A and B are shown apart, each in its own frame.
Chain A
Amino acid sequence: MTPGMQNMRMGMLGRRRALAALAGGVLVSNGARAQAPKRGGTLNVGLVNDAKTYDPIYSVQFTERHVLYLMFDTLVRYGTDFSIKPELAESWEISVDGKTIVFTLREGVAFQDGTPFDAAAVKWNIDQRLDPHVNSPQRALLAPIIASVDVLDPHRVAFTLTQPSPGLFSLLGERVGFMVSPTAWKARGKDFGDHPVGTGAFTLKEWTRGSQVVVERNPTYWQKGLPYLDRIVVHDLAGSVIGVQRLLTGEIDYVGELTPTDVLPIESRPSVKLSPIKVGRWYFLQWHVNTPPFDNAKLRQAVAGAIDRQRLNEITMRGQGSVSDGPTPDGLWWYDPAVKSLPYDPAKAKALLAEAGYPNGFSYDLSTPQVAVFQQINQLIQEQLAAVGIKVTLQPVAASEWYARVVAGSTNMTPTRWTQRADPDGLLYILFHSKGFANTMKYKNDRVDALLDQARATYDVAVRKQQYGEAQKLIVDDLPMVPLIFGAEYAALRSNIGGFEWIPDEIPRFRGLWKAAS
């Protein structure tokens, strides 16, 4: 089998599984008015926006991508099943040794400032991110796998890799893949984040921090006939609940990140339709495995066995999420049904606690970010652990400070959540490899490291699936964290909005939407 064929097989396998998962989900739609695409109009989006910059090279915040995907195109894009599709790159070929990928670029594409998008621009974009002086946060992801990027001709560019790197495609569909106009970036310097220029369907018109972002249709967009909308206004929201009210009054057309409880008041409104996400965020409880008290394996097992995950799902997600047995939900190709977390068994948990050397239980602080769902999860965990003699004190921390403290290591036991990435390497490596930059559990298992290293260096999906399966089994047994649930979440749209589809990274793509007469 040629590497090219292997690549196709990977895509198809992923697609089939994700489609099977899709069949289980239902799109709740009360109106059927938005079927035929219509041109023109303004889409009003409500967003709890924490954007700091719209320079893709420096982007870190989650919600920045909501707007970046409007102004920038990526080299490749994700399908609704996380499959990799052409975007600015029309096609690609992987060399037999897997260490060279040649991308053939779309012709006739120009940046919004009129300069051409070509192979030199791609090389410049990747080189910028690799340049230590530029200090892009993406450098840590790219430097270990990219040896060089070379221009073959104006429309062909070769990526030379240090090792076969299937995860690169996933990276090129998000921040790393946003193609920036080199001319504009050099001209603007540090101000580029306020005056972004890409090849995207929309151009930035106005950004008033704390208030709104306005983007307008790019009249020279390379995809003929697109976009449908003339303008998109992203309004800052103080909270999703306020967004629901503004949606009902028609002030905004879209609001996302709604919990199953948030959508209760709008479930049967004809003016609104709900779109559930396909792959829920992964919630887990983490701790430092290298320092007392959680360096004690028996103690970790006791805590894990004392937590009733089904009840967490029933109460915090109204039963619409699912119990997590490991990092990967069913529906993604690296899901392995053999990965099983400890079952809920308070009696056994109590016995384990005694074996661990705590016959009378113990007391510990649980970091509690001011985010409704974390507060709910923590109160339930507190109640459940109290039943086996573990006294947990909830330690409130501002949502904005919380993750910085987790990274700094000043927070030990805390709940956390991550969205899935298009490639298993994206999440499993950064969280569980001893060198992973988001491994705040201080977890280190040499076998897991080896498996994650091997699996990121082969394109053979069957081999990778087996390696990721074994790694996840080891991780779940070692308990650097307790898997809790996969969340349920909704976007709510006015029923005259058409064309909306979820991609499993939970970032809504607005550029293909249209607005019918309401």
Chain B
Amino acid sequence: MKHPARWIGGMIIASCVIVAVAAPVLAPDDPYRSGIAMLDLSSRAHWFGTDDLGRDVLSRVIYGARASLAIGLGAALTATLIGVPIGLLAGTLRGRVDAALVALIDLFIALPGLVLALIITAMIGANLRNLVLTLGFVMWPAIARLVRGQALALRETLFVEAARATGGTRLSIIRRHIWPGVLPVVAAQFATSVSFAIFTSASLSFLGLGIPPPEADWGGMVRQGFDYLAINPLLSLAPGAGVSLTVLGFYLIGTTIK
């Protein structure tokens, strides 16, 4: 194996995806059905115990993989879709367009991601779609800056100059010569963005701006369990482990892409 870390990361993500997709099969219980056995400890009926409304925690952790992956992948995709074109434009056009775009990128990078996400979610309201858009919007400048840097370097290379000299159009140069060189950077940043999005959405939940109840999502469950740490720590620890593992998985993949 050339990249053991990448393999471990891949396996972690693969398991997460399987859990998310097969949640209805894997979950022993309905994650949304309340019960009058509240805050029970781990038992044969409820491996991770029950939450404050008597719902099965294991089932909720399993279903929670869906929301967390949706947020992570959705937000990273949004950020990529905004960030890559802007980065490519800035990097290949140079001049005044570049200066304006760089100013815009720097403006957003100067604001801390969590704070920006907090302000936007507080304004537009929290739900899955809004969270994906907000976190994507918060993360695009980092991608744009990386892509611009890479494009800048590539546009000065001999083969791009040669392409220009033989009459290649701007668009074809970007598509055939610059984009392939930028792609690995985008892939690496994509993976890191997924982990940042999951992590930040968990933080937002803790501040009361995550996905609204009764949706099972890991960030929200960590927050909800916080009030009952002294009674059943698994309420927070189990979904918390889900967040950590997924973030780790994407991080391992991201750092091994050259």
Contact = CB atoms under 8 A, between A and B. Distances in A.
A and B are partners in one complex rather than unrelated chains: yes
A368 B208 contact: no
Contact of A368 (B52, B213, B230): B213
Nearest to A384: B34
What 4 A-B pairs come out closest when comparing CB atoms? A265-B230, A370-B208, A396-B212, A379-B214
Interface string A254-280: 000000011011000000000000000
A261 B53 contact: no
B1 interface: no
Given A264-B231, A318-B38, A372-B227, A398 B53 contact: no
Contact of B32 (A314, A368, A383): A383
A83 B97 CA distance: 77
Contact of A314 (B33, B36, B214): B36
B86 interface: no
Contact of A261 (B38, B125, B212): B38
A315 B34 contact: yes
A396 B126 contact: yes
Given A375-B213, A382-B214, A394-B214, A311 B227 contact: no
Given A265-B230, A311-B34, 15 more contacts: A261-B38, A262-B227, A314-B36, A315-B36, A315-B53, A315-B54, A318-B38, A370-B208, A372-B227, A376-B53, A383-B34, A395-B125, A396-B208, A396-B213, A398-B208
Chain A CB count within 10 A is highest, among B36, B52, B125, for: B52
A219 interface: no
Interface in A370-412: 370, 372, 375-376, 378-380, 382-383, 393-396, 398
A262 B226 CA distance: 12
A378 B213 contact: yes
A507 interface: no
Contacts of A380: 34, 53
B33 A383 contact: yes
A314 B227 CA distance: 19
A51 interface: no
Contacts of A376: 52-53
20 contacts: A241-B227, A241-B229, A262-B227, A264-B39, A265-B231, A311-B34, A315-B34, A315-B38, A315-B53, A315-B54, A318-B38, A368-B213, A375-B213, A379-B34, A380-B53, A383-B34, A394-B214, A395-B125, A395-B212, A396-B209
B118 to A, nearest CB: 11
Interface string B195-233: 000000000000011001110000000000011111100
Interface in B33-56: 33-34, 36, 38-39, 52-54
Interface string A230-251: 0000000001010011000000
B32 A261 contact: no
Contacts of B226: 241
Contacts, number: 60
Contacts of A396: 125-126, 208-209, 212-213
Contacts of A265: 230-231
A241 B52 CA distance: 14
A261 B228 contact: yes
A311 B36 contact: yes
A77 B67 CA distance: 54
Nearest to B230: A265
Interface string A29-73: 000000000000000000000000000000000000000000000
B224 to A, nearest CB: 8
Interface residues of A, number: 27
Nearest to A241: B227
Interface of A: 239, 241, 244-245, 261-262, 264-265, 311, 314-315, 318, 368, 370, 372, 375-376, 378-380, 382-383, 393-396, 398
A168 B39 CA distance: 45
Contacts of B231: 261, 264-265
Interface of B: 32-34, 36, 38-39, 52-54, 122, 125-126, 208-209, 212-214, 226-231
Contacts of B54: 315
A396 B126 CA distance: 7
Contacts of B33: 383
Nearest to A394: B212
Contacts of A379: 34, 53, 213-214
A11 B117 CA distance: 56
B220 to A, nearest CB: 10
Nearest to A245: B230
Contacts of A382: 214
A376 B55 CA distance: 12
Contacts of B208: 370, 396, 398
Contacts of B213: 368, 375, 378-379, 394, 396
Contacts of A261: 38-39, 52, 228, 231
A395 B208 CA distance: 12
Nearest to B126: A396
Nearest to A264: B231
A364 to B, nearest CB: 14
Contacts of A375: 213
A368 B220 CA distance: 15
A54 to B, nearest CB: 28
A314 B231 CA distance: 18
Contacts of A314: 36
Nearest to A265: B230
A375 B211 CA distance: 13
A245 B39 CA distance: 19
B228 to A, nearest CB: 7
Contacts of B53: 315, 376, 379-380
B35 to A, nearest CB: 8
Nearest to B37: A315
B136 to A, nearest CB: 21
A235 B12 CA distance: 45
Chain A CB count within 10 A is highest, among B209, B227, B229, for: B227
Nearest to A383: B34
A290 B212 CA distance: 28
A398 B208 CA distance: 8
B55 to A, nearest CB: 9
B222 to A, nearest CB: 14
A120 B125 CA distance: 53
Contacts of B32: 383
A368 B214 contact: no
